[in-house]
Amino acid sequence: NTDSEQCIFDSIPDDDVIDSNLVNENLDKLCTTCVVSKDIIEVSSVSSTTENISGSNVESYLNTISTIFESYPNDPALIPTSNISDEQFSFINSLGPCQPLQSSLPGKQFPKRMQGERLRSFHDEHYFKKLQYGSLVKRMWMSYSPSVDKVYCIACKLFGTSTAKKNPLAKDGINDWKHISRRILCHETSSDHLQAVLRKSMYNSNQRVDVGLILESSNAYVAENREVVKIIFETIIYLARQNIPFRGHDESLTSLNKGNFLEMLKLLSKHHALLSCHLRKIEDSKNHNRLTFLSNVSQNTMICILGELIHSKILKSVKSAQVFSIMIDTTTDISNLEQFSLVLRFVNDQGMVEERLVALKIATDSTGKG
Ligand SMILES: [Zn+2]
pLDDT of residue 340: 87
Residue 233 above 90 pLDDT? yes
Cβ neighbours of residue 255 closer than 8 Å, sequence gap 6 or more = 248
Q: Choose the weakest-confidence range: 75-89, 180-194, 266-280.
A: 75-89
Share of residues in the chain with pLDDT > 90 (%): 26
| More confidently predicted of 249 and 289 | 249
pLDDT of residue 231: 92
User: How many Å lie between the centroid of ligand 1 and the Cα of residue 167?
Assistant: 8
User: How many Å lie between the centroid of ligand 1 and the Cα of residue 184?
Assistant: 9
Mean pLDDT value across residues 44-69: 49
| More confidently predicted of 104 and 63 | 104
**Where residue 14 falls among pLDDT bands split at 50, 70, 90?**
very low
Position 208: which residue type? R
Residue 38 above 90 pLDDT? no
Mean pLDDT value across residues 311-339: 89
Residue 195 above 60 pLDDT? yes
User: How many Å lie between the centroid of ligand 1 and the Cα of residue 138?
Assistant: 14
**Where residue 325 falls among pLDDT bands split at 50, 70, 90?**
very high
Mean pLDDT across the chain, nearest whole number?
Answer: 77
pLDDT of residue 289: 64
pLDDT of residue 52: 43
User: How many Å lie between the centroid of ligand 1 and the Cα of residue 144?
Assistant: 13
Residue 36 above 60 pLDDT? no
Q: Choose the weakest-confidence range: 10-24, 181-195, 218-232, 329-343.
A: 10-24
pLDDT of residue 61: 52
User: How many Å lie between the centroid of ligand 1 and the Cα of residue 233?
Assistant: 20
Mean pLDDT value across residues 98-104: 85
Mean pLDDT value across residues 163-192: 89
What are the beta bridge partners of residue 353? 347
What would the DSSP string read from start to end of 179-233? GHHHHHHHHHTSHHHHHHHHHHHHHHH-TTS-HHHHH-TT-HHHHHHHHHHHHHH
User: How many Å lie between the centroid of ligand 1 and the Cα of residue 325?
Assistant: 34
Mean pLDDT value across residues 265-280: 87
User: How many Å lie between the centroid of ligand 1 and the Cα of residue 170?
Assistant: 7
User: How many Å lie between the centroid of ligand 1 and the Cα of residue 201?
Assistant: 13
Q: Choose the weakest-confidence range: 14-18, 60-64, 259-263.
A: 14-18
User: How many Å lie between the centroid of ligand 1 and the Cα of residue 277?
Assistant: 30
CA 209 to chain centre: 24
Which residues are close to ligand 1, an ion, with C-beta < 5 A? 153, 155-156, 193
Instruction: Give the torsion sign (CA, 304, 306, 308, 314).
Output: negative
| More confidently predicted of 360 and 64 | 360
Residue 179 above 60 pLDDT? yes
User: How many Å lie between the centroid of ligand 1 and the Cα of residue 307?
Assistant: 19
- pLDDT of 114-159, one tens digit each? 888 888 999 888 998 887 667 788 898 999 988 888 999 999 999 8
User: How many Å lie between the centroid of ligand 1 and the Cα of residue 193?
Assistant: 4
User: How many Å lie between the centroid of ligand 1 and the Cα of residue 66?
Assistant: 27
pTM > 0.75: yes or no? no
Distance, CA of 100 to CA of 36 (rounded, Å) = 7
**Where residue 238 falls among pLDDT bands split at 50, 70, 90?**
very high
User: How many Å lie between the centroid of ligand 1 and the Cα of residue 191?
Assistant: 9
Mean pLDDT value across residues 14-43: 39
User: How many Å lie between the centroid of ligand 1 and the Cα of residue 95?
Assistant: 17
| More confidently predicted of 19 and 274 | 274
User: How many Å lie between the centroid of ligand 1 and the Cα of residue 311?
Assistant: 19
Question: For residue 267, how many other CB atoms are within 10 A of its CB?
Answer: 11
Distance, CA of 283 to CA of 121 (rounded, Å) = 50
User: How many Å lie between the centroid of ligand 1 and the Cα of residue 181?
Assistant: 14
What are the strands, taking DSSP E only, across the chain? 113-115, 118-120, 128-130, 136-138, 142-145, 150-153, 324-332, 338-347, 353-362
User: How many Å lie between the centroid of ligand 1 and the Cα of residue 150?
Assistant: 14
CA-to-CA dists, residue 7 to 3, 129, 237, 275, angstroms: 6, 22, 32, 46
Cβ neighbours of residue 63 closer than 8 Å, sequence gap 6 or more = none
- pLDDT of 286-305, one tens digit each? 666 677 888 888 999 999 99
